[in-house]
Every structure is written in C-alpha cells, then in structure tokens.
Amino acid sequence: MQLIDCPWCGPREEVEFHYGGQAGVAYPAAPAELSDEEWARFVFHRANPKGPLHERWSHSAGCRRWFTAVRDTATYRFEK
C-alpha cells in the first residue's frame, strides 16, 4: 500500500487518509458581489491536470490534521 507522509506523524498507510481535493481554493472575498458565472466557478470548477497537483489531505484515522501535499496525478507519487 502507498505510504503517505503526514507532516506530524510521518509515513502512514494510505487508508488512514482522506482526500480533500485541490488546495488553495479560497472562499470569495466579497460573496455578495459574485456573478452566477463566478459562483459556478467557485462551487463546481477544480483544477484537473495530468501532472503535479496541490492537494488537501487529512490524516483522518491518525492525528486528524489537514495538510497540503503536491502529488503527480499521472504517477500518484507525492512530490512534497
């Protein structure tokens, strides 16, 4: 099984982790001013590259903390 490096606990088995999708998606600063297009972009659109992706992961069956990792979606290898 793939080992994932938790910044707090060290390498642990993949089944202990929960995937949180693309990292760095900020809540809109002025939500009331967003157009429908901008809302759609915020709610439904996420990066989907074939290659490195900045992602949120949670060590849900361990320390339960969230962290950001860079993983290559083509090889599944964690880069950072």
Partner 1 sequence: MTDTTTGPDARPWQPPDHPDFLWRTPEPKRSYDVVIVGGGGHGLATAHYLAKNHGITNVAVLEKGWLAGGNMARNTTLIRSNYLWDESAAIYEHSLKLWEGLEEDLGYPILFSQRGVLNLAHTEQDVRESLRRVEANKLNGIDAEWIGPDEVAKICPIVNVSSDIRYPVHGATYQPRAGIAKHDYVAWGFARRADEAGIDLIQDCAVTGFTTDGDRVTGVRTTRGEIAAGKVALCAAGHTSTLTDLLGIPVPIQSHPLQALVSELLEPVHPTIVMSNAVHVYVSQAHKGELVMGAGVDSYNGYGQRGAFHIIERQMAAAVELFPVFARAHLLRTWGGIVDVTADASPIVGRTPYENVYLNCGWGTGGFKATPGIGWCLAHTIAHDEPHPYVAPFGLDRFVTGALVDEHGAAAVAH
Choose the contact partner of 69 out of partner 1, Zn ion, none; CB within 5 to 8 A by kind: none
36 scored as a contact of partner 1 (CB under 8 A): yes
68 scored as a contact of partner 1 (CB under 8 A): no
CA atoms within 13 A of residue 17's CA, in its CB half-sphere = 24
Strands (E), 1-80: 3-6, 10-13, 18-22, 52-58, 66-72
Residues 13 and 3: beta-carbon distance below 8 Å: yes
Q: Tell me the residue length of the chain.
A: 80
* Site size for partner 1 (CB under 8 A): 26
75 scored as a contact of partner 1 (CB under 8 A): yes
Note the residues at the interface with partner 1 (CB under 8 A): 1-2, 14-15, 18-19, 21, 36-37, 39-41, 43-46, 48-50, 53, 55, 71, 73-76
